[in-house]
Amino acid sequence: MPADRLLAFAPNDKQRLFFTARERYVAYGGARGGGKSWAVRVKAVLLALYYPGIRVLVVRRSYAELEENHVRPMQTVLDGIALYRDRDKTFSFPAGSRIHFGYCDNEGDVLRYQGQEFDCVFLDEATQLTEFQFQTFKGCLRGVNDFPKRMYITCNPGGVGHAWVKRLFIDRDFRAGEDPGDYVFIPAGVRDNRVLMEKDPEYVRRLESLPYALRKAWLEGSWDVFAGQFFTEWDRRLHVCRPFSVPPGWRRYVTMDYGMDMLAAYLIAVDPRGRAYVVSEVYEGRDLGESHPGLIISQAAERLRELAAGTEVYEWLAPPDLWNARQETGRSVADIFAEQGIWLTRTSNDRLAGWMAVRERLRPVEDETGAVSAGLCVFENCVNLIRTLPLLRYDERRPSDAARDPHEITHAPDALRGFCVYWVQQGKEEAAPPRGEKLIHRLTRRGRRRY
């Protein structure tokens, strides 16, 4: 019997949950060694055997990975049961079912699948795929038949897709059009895999000997610490606090990253010791989805005024590209903000110096009493900065820099970077003026700029 050959090993409890899940989007894994690839192969073949005529797609980042992890093992299992055509990368079953294999080595590869229809899609190692690729494959789940329409994904923490997988399946932070009832996560690790534990008992010890970040991700399945994380200094217990009323004598800044894709802006208060508190945020733009249109400059200025309502802002900080003059008008974004009553101060565009300044802010410091604190604390209502800062990854080609993809998670950290690098470069030069001199001081500073 095909099923007897397929199920040479009895599934463990977590794999049984994966096989029997009925949600539209089923995620499985978290840690290494949970038997993810085997579960994908078995589920795909069971679907093909149970539903004559069903169309199944199995995806990995590269075809070499597909061949090694799925095609060759399935050729052994399906010998005499289904015919594999290498040209089409497809197993064809006598009753009309098909299992297709696809890969997405880069962002554009997924466009080959636009317009195609599949009843079930498997994204194996989904954190190696971008959210755009995931969303494109979601559009392939359709067909005028009674077959189930489901997507099965397997995943480990880390990779370019870490953010969207964590948002949907771990944090369950859903956006417009996403039904929480459609998503389920089944955590599994090496200790759930009885076969691997019996065949290779040393595997757990090898995982236990890994560096901290890899061990947390691969052995424990932690989604807060992962290989390739840029800010390993981030600790929610240290860097997030409950909101409180900011004393009137503290200096306030607004720092921003602005474009039609996103306005990420933060009101930051600095206490007399120089410790910074991120008080509130604006986070709005097209990168949040089609239902979130980008803000034109007048709209962005209005959001900034709302952000700073009731406070005196010492500086409005913005990246240098906002001073680039537009060819059609000869005016810059900074010029138009000035017309809206918001006079911007240019920050540095030195990314490496900026990230180093952020690290200095995040660095834990112990005082004479033994209490540990950091130079930056974020009010817990600034949910997007708290979400995105720990998701930044290293740039593989420039390890001292943060990766610029996925793009949506870079806006809030870029805004924070602008404040931190400004403080390092300007803060030591500018002692806080007496209250009566503050207006003269600010006007003088503006006079030194182009305004």
Residues 6+ apart with CB under 8 A from 289: 175, 176, 177
The topology (CATH level 3) of 236-448 is: Nucleotidyltransferase; domain 5 (3.30.420)
Q: Given a cut of 70, is residue 213 above it in pLDDT? A: no
- The rounded distance, in Å, linking the Cα atoms of 105 and 68 is 16
Q: Given a cut of 60, is residue 414 above it in pLDDT? A: yes
Q: Given a cut of 90, is residue 224 above it in pLDDT? A: no
Question: Cα–Cα distances in Å, from 166 out to 54, 170, 221, 223, 444?
Answer: 30, 5, 12, 7, 47
Q: What is the pLDDT of residue 446?
A: 46
Do 2-219 and 236-448 show the same overall fold? no
Mean pLDDT for the stretch of residues 240-262: 95
Number of H helices and E strands in the chain, helices first, is 17, 17
Closest CA to 150 of 54, 74, 86: 54
Q: What is the pLDDT of residue 4?
A: 55
Q: What pLDDT band is residue 247 in, cutting at 50, 70 and 90?
A: very high
Model confidence over 67-124: pLDDT tens digits?
999 999 999 889 999 999 999 999 999 999 999 999 988 777 888 888 899 999 999 9
Q: In Å, how far from its chain's centre is CA 80?
A: 43
Q: What pLDDT band is residue 5 in, cutting at 50, 70 and 90?
A: low
- The rounded distance, in Å, linking the Cα atoms of 237 and 38 is 38
Range with the poorest average pLDDT among 231-240, 253-262, 279-288: 231-240
What is the maximum span of the chain, computed from C-alpha positions, in angstroms? Answer: 89
181-210 CB burial, b ≥16 within 10 A, e <16: eebbbbbbbbebbeebeeeeeebbeebeee
Q: What is the pLDDT of residue 284?
A: 94
What CATH code is assigned to 2-219? 3.40.50.300
The SS3 of residue 81 is: coil
- The rounded distance, in Å, linking the Cα atoms of 46 and 299 is 53
Model confidence over 269-298: pLDDT tens digits?
999 999 999 999 999 998 887 677 889 999
Model confidence over 25-58: pLDDT tens digits?
999 987 777 788 899 999 999 999 999 999 999 9
Model confidence over 309-322: pLDDT tens digits?
999 999 999 999 99
Closest CA to 274 of 428, 435, 429: 428
Of the two residues 290 and 301, the one the predictor is more confident about is 301
Q: Is 384 left (phi over 0), alpha (psi -120 to 50) or beta?
A: alpha
Structure-block tokens of residue 47:
């679907």
DSSP label at 118? B
Q: Where are the domains of the chain?
A: 2-219, 236-448
Range with the poorest average pLDDT among 73-82, 162-171, 184-193, 336-345: 184-193
Residue recorded with tokens 């015919």? 83
| CA angle at 257 for the pair 276 and 235, rounded to the nearest 5° | 40
Q: What is the pLDDT of residue 281?
A: 98
Q: What is the pLDDT of residue 451?
A: 38
Mean pLDDT of the chain: 86
Mean pLDDT for the stretch of residues 352-370: 89
Q: What amino acid occupies position 403?
A: A
Q: Given a cut of 50, is residue 252 above it in pLDDT? A: yes
Of the two residues 365 and 46, the one the predictor is more confident about is 46
Closest CA to 61 of 153, 189, 175: 153
Q: What size, in residues, is the chain?
A: 451
| CA angle at 190 for the pair 120 and 38, rounded to the nearest 5° | 30
- The rounded distance, in Å, linking the Cα atoms of 18 and 41 is 12
Whether residue 248 has a cis bond before it, omega within 30° of 0:
no
